[in-house]
Amino acid sequence: MEGLAVPFPHLLPLPPFPKLAAAAAAISTSTSTGGGGGFISLKQQLQLRPRRRSPYCTSSSSSSSSHSQPEGERVSGDSIRERFLNFYASRGHKVLPSASLVPDDPTVLLTIAGMLQFKPIFLGNVPRQVPRATTSQRCIRTNDVHNVGNTSRHHTFFEMLGNFSFGDYFKKQAIQWAWDLSTVEFGLPSERLWISVYQDDDESFQLWSQQVGVPVERIKRLGEDDNFWTSGVTGPCGPCSEIYYDFHPERGYIDADLGDDTRFIEFYNLVFMQYNKKDDGSLEPLKQMNIDTGLGLERMARILQKVPNNYETDLILPIIEKASELANVSYGISDDQTKRYLKIVGDHMRAIVFLISDGVVPSNVGRGYVVRRLIRRVVRTGRLLGIKGDGRGDLEGAFLPTIAEKVVELSTHIDADVKNRAPRILEELKREELRFVQTLERGEKLLDEKLADAISSAERNGSVPCLAGEDVFILYDTYGFPMEITKEVAEERGVSIDMNGFDIEMDKQRRQSQAAHNTVKLAIGSGTNIADNVPDTEFIGYESLYCKAIVASLVVNGDPAVQVSEGSNVEVLLNKTPFYAESGGQIGDHGFLYISEGENQPKAVVEIIDVQKSFGNIFVHKGRVQKGVVEVGKQVEATVDVKLRQRAKVHHTATHLLQAALKKVIGQETSQAGSLVAFDRLRFDFNFHRPLLDSELAEIEVLINGWIENAILLQTKVMPLADAKRAGAIAMFGEKYGEEVRVVEVPGVSMELCGGTHVSNTSEIRGFKVISEQGIASGVRRIEAVAGEAFIEYVNARDSYLKQLCSTLKVKPEEVTARIENLLEELRVARNENSAVRAKAAVYKASVIASRAFLVGNSKQYRILVECLDDVDAESLKSAAEYLMETLADPAAIVLGSCPGEGKVSLVAAFTPGVVDQGIQAGKFIGQIAKLCGGGGGGRPNFAQAGGRKPDNLAGALEKAKSELIAHLCENGN
């Protein structure tokens, strides 16, 4: 069922939640009704919200048992949602709230289906809390984003109405209720409904035809791709049955194709979870059979409101109308392209607002990239529509917040919290839009040029126009254009894009961004690849820090060597090793390679200072021969530095605890954006939109140190990737994993896919302390911290600094802060007093030189004073100039200079009104003089300051100032 509950090809496999959603966990088991059509009072099950009359609905439709809609009546989307929940609540279903768009399930990025919060129950990992439930679930899917606006039914954000049975009722009730809901509750004409069933599901076919009475010619058997749902290669699965609405029954039964969008729309999907798929592909019946359904709210609204597409329902049309208003167009009479643009805005704005409300912050990775991509797509689409400004008079303002206000207004019955979060949502949208607009125009111009070049080149060569991958990457990397937007614009112009070239540039950037020591050279001078002749290295470092190994190859400066002597840098390839090679953020081990001569006499010693992994699984040990000669084929004793390995283990486990603590304190939506596990510290980058508060950092430390104190035993397992995801292990978004993965679990705290080394018990970490928290990119924060021995060293160092400070200040530790504050206040007072003394001295010097002013001009009435006051600082020089302005009669021009320190020049120009009236301004004048001293400056027409870096030029600069003042005032003065 495309766009609705299941099947979900991109969701496979479907592993379990690590825990049941909090809402479901709180449900009482007292609502169990057994196996059939048991009834629980609606008043007992649900306290309904007051039904609000919609402007789209001509009657209140207050009864949950209402029948067919009278001709002309238009039911609102909100009432469809409410009536669906009422219908199933009256049949013993517990009404549960929608889960967040950020799922409590690390195996999927966003909530893409109504059943997601119930996965642990369906997979048998947690017991059911109720036998049956019903929900209206907010969902996000972006796999069909390019179809938004082009078809009548595709969305990025939609609501999935669902009813679920956990080992309670099965096909008979699910099918009958789905039919009753459609034909009685919503009044759909039965002759317009078609059914699809799985090709081998005879039971469902008979129930639809015999129990419900659907004519067999309107029941279609479809294959596995369309009507059989699986949770993965193995596990729970079962056939599906779907209900379609026929917009053109006059076309008859012959050759009717349920996939024909012009005639049919699938609106309800029923999944009968009845089998367990085994490793050999065979199916065995489940002990507990489940029901999972999904009805698309937008699709049902389209049918009941009798509009040509989902966008023109009351769920989306008001948003489109707001965008139309800003674009100064009318949706109803617009051409198809304009309508498409408006539909994109209407759809995407819903997704954006609800994502940000649920804590997803725009960024360049993970969920943040999803919302940033949608925002940028709307901004560009808005510009194509001609939207300028915020619609409230600010032509440079952001328009997304204005449209978002309409989404917030419509959100009341979907998620009441959106309105409370509106200020944060609107501010985030404004910030993100204005940031993107700064580069959008330049990027659009460049893209237009590149597309024109591609088209011209293709015309000359008689080929198909194609945009080079390098150009696509420049637009992405420099101008912030998501690759998808570039592709979309190119397709509009009939130009394809070179995705392989783009991927190559992306890979090149990743490789170039790595530190130099991360690069391992395995190609010899002749161009032969050493890796071709060396097997993968066997790593035994999880179990042992020592082993005997054979030297498989030696490399010096990129060239192969048979032997390497003392004093040489070397790269050693062994057949097996206990050394951990840098990966997953953890740096490589240090240690030694020994070649023994006698019992206790090493013939050769190589100190290993780094280990890298290259060409799949070849470990490259980088080091220096400290003694003797190392030869290919010789046996060595490989020994890892135990203390440094322990430091790395401590910091790696602490990193897992830090991620778990961040999710608890600032929200599950935060995700890892990079890490470093070193011997002296750990570094963790994560997606978040603001600096962390001191109180939040303190809470994180308390959580982590509490887990350390609890002495939790870690569990490490190697298992198939699908099994690991089912178990709830967190995978890094964008990371590539093999079929077999290593899972590191701190029970009750975290579970991650990780190949790094870890402590066996959290008590080994001893202590944890955050050193710093800072922003490193838009939407990305970084925490640096220490743990274990590094934590002890950090605390001891800080204690030593404090003792020294206490000794210097002669106070107790608890008195240091107060003493420093007193000293700072005393220093401030002393500086003010000193400044006042210097100002008085400068004014005294000014009084002495005032008599040096001379008269110029035709009437000899302009006074000019240009002098150097030696080492007077800038502030005091200003005071001197102000004094001279008051002392010398108008009109007067004063220019003073000084050298307050080594390599420093200060200048000031003060002109009375009579001089300014002659067209000479202090700011412009002194700025030009300052250039002669290697500086610049400016200010008001009557008073300005400047500075420079060439004291030797000051005398010449002042002479220049004097001559220009004389020339100007003699020429222009009366």
SS3 content of the chain, % helix, strand, coil (to 5): 40, 25, 35
Residue 509: the pLDDT is 58
Residue 548: the pLDDT is 95
Residues for the chain: how many in total?
974
Contact 84, 181 (CB under 8 A): yes
* Pairing assessment for the beta strands 862-868 and 892-898 based on DSSP bridges: parallel
* CA pair distance 733, 363, nearest whole angstrom: 13
Quote the tokens at residue 49.
């919200």
* Residue 747 vs residues 589, 711, 715, 728, 752: alpha-carbon distances, Å: 27, 11, 7, 12, 11
Residue 391: the pLDDT is 86
The phi, psi pair for 629, rounded to 5°, reads -130, 135
Residue 758 annotated in ligand binding: yes
CA contacts within 13 A on the Cβ side of 764 = 17
Residues with Cβ within 8 Å of residue 870, at least 6 apart in sequence = 898, 899
- Residue 768 identity (one-letter amino acid): F
Contact 108, 15 (CB under 8 A): no
Residue 754 annotated in ligand binding: yes
pLDDT tens digit sequence for 335-376: 999 999 999 999 999 999 999 998 888 887 788 888 988 998
In terms of average pLDDT, the best of 102-111, 583-592, 775-784 is 583-592
Omega before 236 within 30 of 0, i.e. cis? no
Residues with Cβ within 8 Å of residue 608, at least 6 apart in sequence = 572, 579, 589, 590, 591, 592, 593, 621, 622, 623
In degrees, to the nearest 5, what angle opens at C-alpha 364 toward C-alphas 361 and 366? 70
Residue 487: the pLDDT is 84
Residue 19: the pLDDT is 28
> Is the pLDDT at 622 greater than 80, yes or no?
yes
* CA pair distance 894, 962, nearest whole angstrom: 9
* CA pair distance 768, 831, nearest whole angstrom: 41
Residue 518: the pLDDT is 32
The phi, psi pair for 270, rounded to 5°, reads -115, 125
The phi, psi pair for 29, rounded to 5°, reads -80, 0
Rg (CA), the chain: 37
* CA pair distance 951, 18, nearest whole angstrom: 70
Residue 543: the pLDDT is 93
- pLDDT (average), residues 694-698: 95
Tell me the longest C-alpha to C-alpha distance in the chain: 118
Q: Angle of helix 922-931 relative to helix 954-972, nearest 10 degrees?
A: 140
Running DSSP on this structure, what letter comes out for residue 208?
Answer: I
Of 324, 301, 325, 303, the closest CA to residue 314 belongs to: 301
Residue 480: the pLDDT is 60
Residue 152: the pLDDT is 86
In degrees, to the nearest 5, what angle opens at C-alpha 779 toward C-alphas 777 and 781? 65
Quote the tokens at residue 833.
């007093």
pLDDT tens digit sequence for 205-234: 999 999 999 999 999 999 988 899 876 666
Supply the mean pLDDT for the chain: 84
Residue 767: the pLDDT is 96
Q: Angle of helix 400-410 relative to helix 422-461, nearest 10 degrees?
A: 120
Residue 4: the pLDDT is 34
SS3 state at 525: coil
> Is the pLDDT at 966 greater than 60, yes or no?
yes
Residue 244: the pLDDT is 97
In the structure, what pLDDT confidence band is assigned to residue 192 with cuts at 50, 70 and 90? Answer: very high
Q: Helix count (H) and strand count (E) of the chain?
A: 26, 35
Complete DSSP assignment for 373-415: HHHHHHHHHHHHHT--S-SSS-TTS-SHHHHHHHHHHHTTTT-
pTM of the model: 0.54
Residue 478: the pLDDT is 64
Contact 139, 159 (CB under 8 A): yes
Running DSSP on this structure, what letter comes out for residue 34?
Answer: -
> Is the pLDDT at 248 greater than 80, yes or no?
yes
* CA pair distance 266, 2, nearest whole angstrom: 8
Residue 240 annotated in ligand binding: no
Residue 93 annotated in ligand binding: no
Element (H, E) at 427: helix 422-461
Lowest average pLDDT, out of 548-552, 691-695, 923-927, goes to 923-927
* Residue 576 vs residues 538, 539, 582, 604, 630: alpha-carbon distances, Å: 4, 6, 16, 19, 17
Facing residues of 572 across strands?
554, 621
> Is the pLDDT at 736 greater than 70, yes or no?
no
- pLDDT (average), residues 875-884: 90
- Helices (H), ranges, 228-335: 297-305, 317-327
